[in-house]
Each structure stands twice: as C-alpha cells, then as structure tokens.
Chain A
C-alpha cells in the first residue's frame, strides 16, 4: 500500500457526461500529480499541484481540469467525455515541489470507461 488513495476505483459513464476523480496524497506530501494511461498514448503526465498551486501542465485537454484543496486532496474533473477518454487515471504524490524527491508513490488508479 503506497498510502495514496483514489476514488472511485472504477467508473462507467456515457459520452457527454462529466465525472470527478478524487485523490488523497500520502500523509505529509504536498505535491499531487495526475497521469493518464491509455493503450494508444501510454502513460502521460496531465497536471501537477503543489500545496494548492498549479505547478506544471502536460497534455491535458481543455475539457479536463483539476484542483488541490486546502486539506491537500485533489480532484480531476473530466467533462464532455468522449470514447477516447477511457483510460486508467493515476495520481501520485511526493513531499516536495519537484526535483528533490527520490520517490514518487502512485495511487491504485481509477479505471474510467466511457460508453
């Protein structure tokens, strides 16, 4: 158990809908990273928050947004869902803002299926 929690574990929804994925980092970790794993794109970085502030953005679609709350949990919002958004979404956490950490622990992931 990495100490990073994600809910829900599975999510099945229809095209055009909106969903929210939740992540709680390990105790003491201030950074949350979101990644998407799909068959055609592999594992891709989406967005990074540190202590409530956005730090870096990757290949995140405009239909997707995220935030990190004062209690440090993070939510990834996916809207106007398309079939191609079906993927495994991971969050990961670290203690620092970036280059100092020698580990990055992942949550169990949320498997999103868009029908």
Chain B
C-alpha cells in the first residue's frame, strides 16, 4: 500500500532562516503526484505546492520549493526566509491510485510536522 512518512513531529527555525521539512513516500506506481499543505492554528488546509512524478525540475512557488529525489522516494519541502506567519502544521500528501479502480485523485497524508518560527 502507498504510504507517506513525515519523521519530524516538530521543528523550530529562526525567523529569516531556511528550513527543510522531510517527507518520504512508498509507492509502486510510476505515475503519482505529491502535494504539500499548510494548516495554521485556525484549521484550514492551504495548498502550497505540487510535484508530478514525471516532472524533471523541482517545483517552486514563491518561498516554497520541493526537493524531489525520485530514486530516494523523498519530497522535502524547503521554506526559505522563514516568517512568523509560517508557524503551522505542514502535511505531505500523495495522490493514490488503486489498481483496477476508477480514476481518482484521493490523497493519502503523512502525520504532519509542526513548524514554529522564532523571532
């Protein structure tokens, strides 16, 4: 079965510094998608960035970039120049495909990493 693992329950980073949040995945599919979401204390899930398994370049969106290492099955999120507003829970997710099932874009999620940015 496909699986997402986030091994860092909590992280601290100094304001204005960069931080890397780890995500490893397990799948036998050749085609898959990887997503990162931010969940602040208010509870909403904010989409940050997407990486397709066939994308040759690492995805970037503003201060967010995804360090995609396919052979190692890792998709780490890098946040540059951290801001106080980056303090939140971060989730890595993978679009799962089941053999023989209808096409679906359902996501499976990791356990999340809580990031705290210190002033």
Contacts and interface: CB of A to CB of B under 8 A. Distances in A.
Nearest to B31: A99
Interface in A69-115: 88, 90, 92, 94, 96-106, 108-109, 111
Interface residues of A, number: 31
A18 interface: no
B57 to A, nearest CB: 14
A58 interface: yes
Given A33-B106, A43-B91, A55-B102, A99 B43 contact: no
Contacts of B33: 99, 101-102
A45 to B, nearest CB: 5
A33 B107 contact: yes
B112 A99 contact: no
Nearest to B97: A99
B9 interface: no
Contacts of A31: 105
Interface of A: 2, 31, 33, 35, 42-45, 48, 50, 55-56, 58, 88, 90, 92, 94, 96-106, 108-109, 111
A115 to B, nearest CB: 20
B32 to A, nearest CB: 8
B81 interface: no
A94 B107 CA distance: 12
Interface string B25-57: 000000101010100000111110010100000
A111 B106 contact: no
B38 to A, nearest CB: 11
14 contacts: A33-B106, A35-B107, A43-B91, A43-B112, A45-B107, A48-B104, A56-B102, A98-B95, A98-B102, A102-B33, A104-B47, A104-B105, A104-B107, A106-B45
B49 to A, nearest CB: 9
B103 A97 contact: yes
B102 A97 contact: yes
